[in-house]
Structure 1
Amino acid sequence: MGRNTFLRLVNEAKKEGRNILYEYEVKNLLKSYAIDTTNPVFIRNKEQLESLNNINFPCVMKVVSTQIAHKSDIGGVILNIKNKEELLEAFEKIKNNTEKKGIKIEGVIVEEEVEKGLEIIIGSYKDPIFGNVIMLGSGGIYVEAYKDVSFRIVPINKRDAYEMIDETIIGSILKGFRGIKYDIFSVIDALIKVSNLIEDNQEIVELDLNPIYVYSQGIKVVDGRLKFV
């Protein structure tokens, strides 16, 4: 199922001249590997947004574009939308923010707003010598500043996942800090499932799942991007 989902999404992207998957497509792929994510709905225009029903407020709106790596940097993410009126206002705000910067957008996604958890990142890249490499570290907007990461060559097993957690600062927090406990077993499970995803789909050259919220029970992938060849 996972491989078939990947091929379908990649074929659709190639028809549009893309070598990346949009966030909502990445989340569809993750779900096919039983990795828990938020539930985005892709909206191309205001008319589709006006006809959107069964929205769970509060919700989040995010821009969809091939030209944007960090959506929040250009005003492309709006949180805590409480009703339909605010939803339509958010669409206009994102549209204006991107137009001012000359950025072409494909639309937006609307998804439920979830409780914040401990932020981690799971990612991968294709190394010219070692091949597919998986990474775990501290997540969020400061991931590049912290440089708190651990790497392994794909595929990994449960022992590898444990060791990756042990090698990071965020790992000491995951294992329990000041009485706060997080679901370390769900992190291990996610690492192994992402490893399987990468192993199954050798066309992937870059995967970035950041942030992933870790809770006392379970995890939730909140954002993600993927590049393929």
Structure 2
Amino acid sequence: MQKPDSLIFDMDGTLWDAVDTYAHSWNVVFGEMGIDKTIDRHILAPMVGWEGKKVIETLMPEFDHQKRLDIYATVNNRRHSLIGDMGGIMYDGVMEGLPKLAEKYKLFILSNCAKGIIRQFINWADIDAYITDEIAYGTNFMPKNFNIKQLIDKHDLKSPVYVGDTAGDGEQTRLAGIPFVFVSYGFGDTDDHDVKFDDFTALTNYFLNL
């Protein structure tokens, strides 16, 4: 791989694991709305990285589209406070690696989450100083390949790479026409990658030494 000028990171499964917090937000809202339904980690983890439309269709097949959207909006509003209170689990090496990488590359976060969730994560983790920009699926409801291109155009990136943990991340990265960096410790698996890392420290060392 040639040396990039920027690293665009997926969030869930790449930088942190907040599945328990996400599941709790669903259950709080279901309880408040009198919906007899419980979401646990086992149900939600395989959906990490999915676009919101697919998540709500899978989790709530019994409701019509508008009802799903209404519930999902309530869940995401509740997450804004829950992330601040509960946070998640940062993967080993992330907090140490991001400051070092930011000295050499522009860093971005691009996720299939709702609008505002990336900002909540950045604030909770106190990493704002290292992140140049972020974009979420909930900003425009467009797929990752479109949003990767948005960041490329906005910041005039010449040789970015996308770092993610699922086959879907790889597919979207290929559609955007840039290299895909796969991290194996997250929620998915794929053999279609340009380079693979089993931990964030190895990723950090690789890009620092390019």
The alignment's TM-score, normalised by the length of structure 2, stands at 0.28
Instruction: Tell me which protein shows more strand as a share of its residues.
Output: 1
Q: TM-score, normalised by structure 1?
A: 0.27
